[in-house]
Amino acid sequence: MTLDQLEQGKPARIVNVGGDTALRRRLLDMGLTPGTVVEIDRFAPLGDPLELCLRGYHLSLRLGAARDIEVEALP
């Protein structure tokens, strides 16, 4: 599944970060690396962007970028 499909409040582990080269590099630089546990904290009122909690900080991310991040849900 991709990050945009993850339910709010459910933890997941990043499996793969895709996208074009510039976007991928930027996502990796922001800490969205394979193996990192992320959780969707909340959505904007109109659904885009979403706010992630990872590595002890919050990160806002557009749904288009979230579609390029493959995750696996954690129990």
CATH number of the domain at 14, please. 2.30.30.90
State the residue range of the domain holding 53: 3-73
Average pLDDT over residues 16-38: 93
* 73/37 Cα distance (integer angstroms): 10
Average pLDDT over residues 1-8: 93
pLDDT at 19 over 90: no
Number of domain units in the chain: 1
* 17/46 Cα distance (integer angstroms): 25
**pLDDT score for 71:** 96
Q: What is the pLDDT of residues 29-65, one digit of tens each?
A: 999 999 999 999 999 999 899 999 999 999 999 999 9
Percent of the chain with pLDDT over 70: 100
Q: Which residue has the tokens 């129990």?
A: 75
Q: CB count, 10 Å around CB of 62?
A: 12
- Which residues, 6 or more positions from 29, have their beta carbon under 8 angstroms from its beta carbon? none
